[in-house]
Amino acid sequence: MNQFGQNFRLTVWGESHGAQIGVSMDGIRAGIPLSEEDFAEDLARRRSGAPGTTPRREPDLPQIVSGLYNGYTTGAPLTVEFANTNTRSQDYANLTRHYRPSHADLVAHHKFAGFNDPRGGGHFSARLTLGLVAAGVVAKKMLPTGVSFATRLTEIGGCTDPAGFDEVLRAAAADRDSVGGVVECRVQGIPLGLGEPFFDSAESMIAHLLFAVPAVKGVEFGSGFAGARLRGSENNDCFTDVGGTTVTNHAGGINGGITNGNEIVVRAALKPTPSIGREQMTYNLTTDKVEPLEIRGRHDVCVALRGAVVVEATVAIALANFIR
Amino acid sequence: MNQFGQNFRLTVWGESHGAQIGVSMDGIRAGIPLSEEDFAEDLARRRSGAPGTTPRREPDLPQIVSGLYNGYTTGAPLTVEFANTNTRSQDYANLTRHYRPSHADLVAHHKFAGFNDPRGGGHFSARLTLGLVAAGVVAKKMLPTGVSFATRLTEIGGCTDPAGFDEVLRAAAADRDSVGGVVECRVQGIPLGLGEPFFDSAESMIAHLLFAVPAVKGVEFGSGFAGARLRGSENNDCFTDVGGTTVTNHAGGINGGITNGNEIVVRAALKPTPSIGREQMTYNLTTDKVEPLEIRGRHDVCVALRGAVVVEATVAIALANFIR
Amino acid sequence: MNQFGQNFRLTVWGESHGAQIGVSMDGIRAGIPLSEEDFAEDLARRRSGAPGTTPRREPDLPQIVSGLYNGYTTGAPLTVEFANTNTRSQDYANLTRHYRPSHADLVAHHKFAGFNDPRGGGHFSARLTLGLVAAGVVAKKMLPTGVSFATRLTEIGGCTDPAGFDEVLRAAAADRDSVGGVVECRVQGIPLGLGEPFFDSAESMIAHLLFAVPAVKGVEFGSGFAGARLRGSENNDCFTDVGGTTVTNHAGGINGGITNGNEIVVRAALKPTPSIGREQMTYNLTTDKVEPLEIRGRHDVCVALRGAVVVEATVAIALANFIR
Amino acid sequence: MNQFGQNFRLTVWGESHGAQIGVSMDGIRAGIPLSEEDFAEDLARRRSGAPGTTPRREPDLPQIVSGLYNGYTTGAPLTVEFANTNTRSQDYANLTRHYRPSHADLVAHHKFAGFNDPRGGGHFSARLTLGLVAAGVVAKKMLPTGVSFATRLTEIGGCTDPAGFDEVLRAAAADRDSVGGVVECRVQGIPLGLGEPFFDSAESMIAHLLFAVPAVKGVEFGSGFAGARLRGSENNDCFTDVGGTTVTNHAGGINGGITNGNEIVVRAALKPTPSIGREQMTYNLTTDKVEPLEIRGRHDVCVALRGAVVVEATVAIALANFIR
């Protein structure tokens, strides 16, 4: 369903080429200073335009339509909307029956009996992550003072050297292809005690949200998959004080599903954008044949670039949801 | 919190050394044949005794105390309980103040203001996964006929050759150490259409549950982290028919958060058991010093061995929760 | 919180004098034909203008901003918004500190630390019920064909004769006072089996929603409070066939929390509008005294008049929420 | 479903003649002193034996099987179980096909496709309220100190004079009939601010739970249905100080869905027990005819007698659920 959270609860709606994308946030305490300008920085990080990102440009100006009064949150639902302006639905005319590989078009067609809005991916579009970024901005304001986020790409297309990223992107673009990436988000200043086992562990809630982000296919905390190759004596983090400070941080700041006061470390694997310009074979319902498809439209070479702030937003939201 | 799910809803309770572990399941349709024997096979897979597992032996006989009548589910909550019999709480006497590295003891002590039950990890014990395995058995019966699970360890302690697993375990045991592992679960026969985007994608719900399992620190679907190193043209799965069959399965059977009818492929990284026999340094509240700790008690060399069926159960539960 | 439901889930937002009132509905099956005109009839029933209703006139034109494509629901969230146009916030200037008796102003001020939007009651305004009426329209389309609603006022200001209602309203208006009323909603055609005991009985879910409607202070089903004065032999409903048809319907169509196939009968008591024109004594924070208050603004003599369709909408929503 | 609540979350299970009745409570803060003796007083109020109550006697000894350690709550789920000992299932042999009027037997049979446990009403039995009473005891300990409950029957069989209650009961018993009643619960000391509009108003949550109690068919707050017959000038409560104290309390302590610091006043109408000893006509599936039914078994003349503590428990639970 399109709701997430208990204490900080999000509802999202909208389609890529519909009237608007919206998000309503409930559970925000009254009295937080907020303005539409506060969203600018994170929205800019998600915006396209840099090398490797889609040429579709949207101003993405947030409109706060409820829950704000005289510059402060009121405690009532805070709703933020974004108009969809720069849509080119005709680019998608051929895709409703000639299914893009690894896209949601086919499953959406079946699940919704053909009534889904196919334009630009409809409700499955990565454009929905606009709402997450907006909610992330609010979530950060709900977290204790002193919390800071550091988010970066640790890999693009298998390259782990940031100096090589541009070349990887250029080569893929030249081939009208795309590349995946790994985003790492580190959060400092989170107090010990967030997380509600058994089922709502800190990892569970963060991963739940992360896997809602289009393109995310893997999530790990701390040493993650690499930690599974270590011995206990290597992977264990020695506590050095009663507050829970550890020498190493293989746990990524979470023990038993509860934050332990150390830095939160989470990584998300984002697959290469499935929409690529080069020709691909895939099933065409009109001809009932597997035929070459050329995807028009404007797409990202690497969604992980714009996805970094989305990953950061989800982590902020999941953590804010634990605050009561 | 200790509830999970919407359509198939679990509630778990209990402590490692308390009277019992229990799970209550809601949303089971009436008329499913069920007996206590039906739990035997999966519970046996979770039971200790094999090389690499803890010497603590529990009969783990399930008692169905509600929701069953004349051998069939009634539609009312189905509750299964397991008595705790073989507890040696004295093994934990020294651990309430000398915090085991990478364990939940310290965070639990703080979060619950010192009132948590520390014996055997209390409510944080992996013994709680008994309830998940029981729920997994019921979940499998709720899935469409023809669904089959294949679950295996793809790595132990970094070794990817099953023939080498025994030696890895033996070496770690000899060092009174532990090793991690990777469990892969594949599910065939899941129909297209399970998953409720935006937030309750198939990946989100499976990962949510998996990260509730103690020791899980990473989750990936299909090509996962490796897929993030590929190009779109390599990672995309070509559709070959209207039903959604694909040539490759890098998506792990899930597109846009919705199952696409292909095999579900999910992998979980389980860290090495933090409880190891060899001495480790960690903070001791009594002396206010970092001091060597020797953990008594009976522990697994590799929790991933017994964790495989737990991983499988969580996947089954998450999928059953999508059935209405 | 501002969400309701599991299968048919509503989220509401907005303030009386803010930019807009909105409702987002999730869980609507794809393929239901819908247009903005479909809302006209029920919205007209809620609109002011008739004797006894507020002179505030709003066109209340619904805007569907998501979840609809080519005239059919898509299965994605359906969001409907209403602009607030005819606001006279200055009428409320004196009320932020001179608390209206039996209004939410005082509790809202405390609960939200003074940050709530006080204009027109803000988020506590009965204007929020616009969203419920809109959701009720959709809910009715989700119910099985053949379901019909009959809703009427059975009492106004203690008068149970419809022919006397006008005189009751006229007299109250002449005194710049208000009157309460009782709304009865009857639903035919609801199949046997809706309701999810133990906690989500049909009565529980309907009453939950009804008591969210401003002014509702009592709810009863079937013989209700009068039935509590009968003997079992008088109140019991004799079954006449295997389908559950009963001779009488003291149960109001619900047994054991589950609809039994007979007519649903529910009544809601709506208190007299607390906002009245005649002078009342109440606490004034500015002077720290109990002082006479004269409430300006435009108010209903009897909210139950416009509340009838709101009651009907809530019943429809609660029933639709049980459909899977 | 069989869960209720967000912050204080209950799960109930069990059948009247099954192995046990149980309740698991989540969200209880760690460190509350608790023992099995603490349940004695309220359980005694629910116990049968007084005139007008069923002759079925159960010791109803609570067993705390999780969430308690060294006499204090641990913060993990607190589970309480009650064994079913005094069952006479043979009394119900004739009822599985000859449907008791106004009972859940028929709807349960249809809803659960004939697989429901019919013995003693199965999961629909009023015996399930044992769990509510136990949860109510814990809920009261979660409320702020100084909160006190006063609960009484204001009507039995239409008689409003307590001195006449015995005669009403005696007369009904002599006729092998039953009577309904009205229970009023008043709560003092509840702070201003509990309740989460729009949907989770204080009235909504209390009514939701109350209507889950078997036999409850009406709920009203403060002046309730009588208030709907008053004018605004009569029904309004004048505030006398900034804390929200009012001269009258027609609102029953709740404004705009939020507690206002005055006494909470709620009344529940409980219908007469449908199970009566005297012969009634009703449909018999075996003969496919409407035939006389004589209900054996042991039943209450007036469930409202034992229901008073259940009503009180539900109010306590609903209020505790608002505490964060």
Q: What is the pLDDT of residues B70-97, one digit of tens each?
A: 999 999 999 999 999 877 766 666 677 8
Pseudo-torsion of CA C258, C263, C269, C270, nearest 10°? 110
Asked whether residue D47 carries a pLDDT value surpassing 90, the answer given is no
Write the residue in D124, D182, D239 that is nearest to C99 by C-beta. Answer: D239
Residue from C46, C36, C42 nearest C67 by CA: C36
| B184: CB partners within 8 A, 6+ apart | B151, B152, B153, B154, B265, B266, B267
Instruction: List helix spans (H) across C175-250.
Output: 202-210, 224-227, 232-235
Location of structure tokens 């028919």: B241
Percent of chain A with pLDDT over 90: 86
**Chain C residues with CB-CB distance to D205 below 8 A:** 208
Q: Give the relative orientation of helices D202-210 and C202-210 as an angle to the nearest 10 degrees.
A: 160
Orientation angle between helical segments D202-210 and D303-320, nearest 10 degrees: 140
Q: Percentage of chain C with pLDDT > 90?
A: 86
- Preceding omega of A199 cis (within 30 degrees of 0): no
Residue B165 is which amino acid? F
Stretch D272-288: mean pLDDT? 95
Are the Cβ atoms of B177 and A233 closer than 8 angstroms? yes
What are C257-293's pLDDT values in tens digits?
999 999 999 999 999 999 999 999 999 999 999 999 9
Residues of B at the D interface (Cβ-Cβ below 8 Å)?
A: 1-3, 9, 11-15, 18-20, 22, 24, 26-27, 30-31, 63, 65-67, 69, 72-79, 111-117, 122-123
Cβ-based interface (< 8 Å): residues of D facing B: 1-3, 9, 11-15, 18-20, 22, 24, 26-27, 30-31, 63, 65-67, 69, 72-79, 111-117, 122-123
Sign of CA dihedral C133, C138, C144, C145: positive
Nearest CA to CA, how far is C253 from chain D (Å)? 10
d(CA C106, CA A111): 48
Do residue A10 and residue B199 have CB atoms under 8 angstroms apart? yes
Residue B46: φ, ψ to 5°: -85, -15
Which residues of chain C have a CB within 8 Å of the CB of B7?
Answer: 324
Q: Which chains touch D (3 or more CB pairs under 8 A)?
A: B, C
Written as one letter, the residue type at B174 is: A
Across the interface, whether the CB atoms of C13 and A77 are under 8 A apart is answered: yes
Question: Where does the pLDDT of residue C91 fall: very low under 50, low under 70, confident under 90, or very high at 90 and above?
Answer: low
> Using a CB-CB distance cutoff of 8 angstroms, which residues of chain D are in contact with residue C199?
1-4, 10, 12, 208-209, 212
Q: What is the pLDDT of residue A312?
A: 98
- For residues D322 and D5, the answer to whether their CB atoms sit within 8 Å is no
Alpha carbon of B151: minimum distance to chain A alpha carbons (Å): 17
CB–CB of C66 and A22 under 8 A?
A: yes
- Cα A10 to Cα C77: distance, rounded to the nearest angstrom: 13
Best of B6, B63, B74 to disrupt the D interface (most D CBs within 10 Å) is: B74
Contact A276 B211 (CB under 8 A): no
The predicted pLDDT at position A93 comes to 66
Chain B contact set for A9 (CB, 8 A): none
What is the pLDDT, as a whole number, of residue C92?
A: 66
At C196, list the tokens.
Answer: 């999810």
Q: D91: pLDDT confidence band, cut at 50, 70 and 90?
A: low
Residue of A244, A271, A285 with shortest CB distance to B228:
A271
Query: Does D11 have pLDDT greater than 70?
Result: yes
Residues in chain B whose Cβ is within 8 Å of chain C: 6-7, 324
Q: For chain C, list residues whose CB is within 8 angstroms of any CB belonging to chain A.
A: 1-3, 9, 11-15, 18-20, 22, 24, 26-27, 30-31, 63, 65-67, 69, 72-79, 111-117, 122-123
As averages over each run of 10 residues, the pLDDT of chain A (324 residues) reads 95 94 97 97 87 76 96 98 81 78 95 93 92 98 97 97 96 96 98 97 98 97 98 98 97 98 98 95 96 85 95 98 94
Contacts of A165 (CB under 8 A, 6+ apart): A153, A156, A159
Mutation pick from C8, C11, C34, C116 vs chain A, by most beta carbons of A within 10 Å, is C11
Residue-level pLDDT at C153: 97
pLDDT value for A57:
72
Helix-strand-coil split of chain D, %, nearest 5: 30, 25, 45
pLDDT band at D163 (very low <50, low <70, confident <90, very high): very high
Q: Round to whole Å and give the CA distance between D100 and D275.
A: 7
Closest residue by Cα to residue C301 from C122, C170, C164: C170
Q: Can you tell me whether residue A265 is helix, strand or coil?
A: strand
- Ordered by where they begin, the domains of chain D are 3-320 (3.60.150.10)
Q: Tell me which residue in B212, B217, B274 faces A223 most closely, judged by beta carbons.
A: B217
Q: What pLDDT score does C93 carry? A: 66
- Predicted confidence (pLDDT) per residue in C106-165, tens digit: 999 999 999 999 988 899 999 999 999 999 999 999 999 999 999 999 999 999 999 999
A4, A108, A227 member nearest B271 (Cβ): A227
pTM of the model: 0.97
Q: In whole angstroms, what separates CA B21 from the centre of its chain? A: 15
C185-210 mean pLDDT: 98
What are the Cα distances from residue B159, in Å, to B152, B154, B180, B269, D168?
14, 8, 10, 13, 80
What is the distance between the alpha carbons of residues B279 and B177, in angstroms, rounded to a whole number? 10
Q: What are phi and psi of A2, to 5 degrees?
A: -95, 30
pLDDT digits (tens, 9 = 90+) for A224-283: 999 999 999 999 999 999 999 999 999 999 999 999 999 999 999 999 999 999 999 999
% of chain D surpassing 90 pLDDT:
86
Given an 8 Å threshold on Cβ–Cβ distance, is C66 in contact with A111?
A: no
Please count the residue pairs, one from chain A and one from chain B, whose beta carbons lie less than 8 angstroms apart: 358
Q: How confident is the model at residue C26 (pLDDT cuts 50, 70, 90)?
A: very high
Compute the distance between CA of residue C101 and CA of residue D238 in angstroms, rounded to an integer: 5
Pairing of strands B216-221, A68-69: unpaired
What does the mean pLDDT of chain C come to?
94
Q: Identify the closest residue of chain A to C63 by CA–CA distance.
A: A19
Which letter, b or e, does each residue of D274-283 get, where b requires 16 or more Cβ atoms within 10 Å of its Cβ? Answer: bbbbeebbbb
At a CB cut-off of 8 Å and minimum separation 6, what does C292 contact? C279, C280, C281
Which amino acid, one-letter code, is at A32? Answer: I
Q: Examine residue D198 and say whether the peptide bond preceding it is cis (omega within 30 degrees of 0).
A: yes
Q: Provide the pLDDT for residue C58.
A: 72
CB contact under 8 A, A218 and B232: no
Which of C54 and D4 is assigned the larger pLDDT? D4
Residues 6+ apart with CB under 8 A from B102: A232, A235, A236, A237, A250, A251, A255, B271, B274
Give the pLDDT mean for C21-33: 97
Nearest CB neighbour to D218, from listed C212, C228, C236 = C228
> Which chains would you list as touching A if contact means 3+ CB atom pairs under 8 Å?
B, C
Question: How many A-C residue pairs are in contact by the CB < 8 A criterion?
Answer: 156
Task: Specify the higher pLDDT residue, A295 or D173.
Answer: D173
- Residue A205 three-state SS: helix
Asked if the model's pLDDT at residue B102 lies above 70, the reply is: yes
- Establish how many alpha carbons lie within 13 A of residue A11's alpha carbon, considering only the half-sphere containing its beta carbon: 26
Quote the CA–CA distance of D209 and C198 in Å, as a whole number: 9
What are the residues facing B69 on neighbouring strands?
Answer: B72
Whether residues C115 and A30 touch (CB distance < 8 A) is answered with yes
Q: pLDDT of C283-322, one tens digit each?
A: 999 999 999 998 877 788 999 999 999 999 999 999 999 9
Q: Apex CA C138: angle with CA C136 and CA C144, to 5°?
A: 100
CA distances from D278 to B315, C250, D103 (A): 54, 19, 15
Q: Kindly identify which residue of chain D lies nearest to residue B75, measuring between CA atoms.
A: D112
Contacts of D187 (CB under 8 A, 6+ apart): D147, D148, D149, D150, D253, D263, D264, D315, D316, D319
Identify the residue with better confidence: D263 or D298.
D263
Backbone angles phi, psi at D220, to 5 degrees: -145, 155
Nearest residue of chain C to residue A29 (CA atoms): C112
DSSP assigned state of D323: -
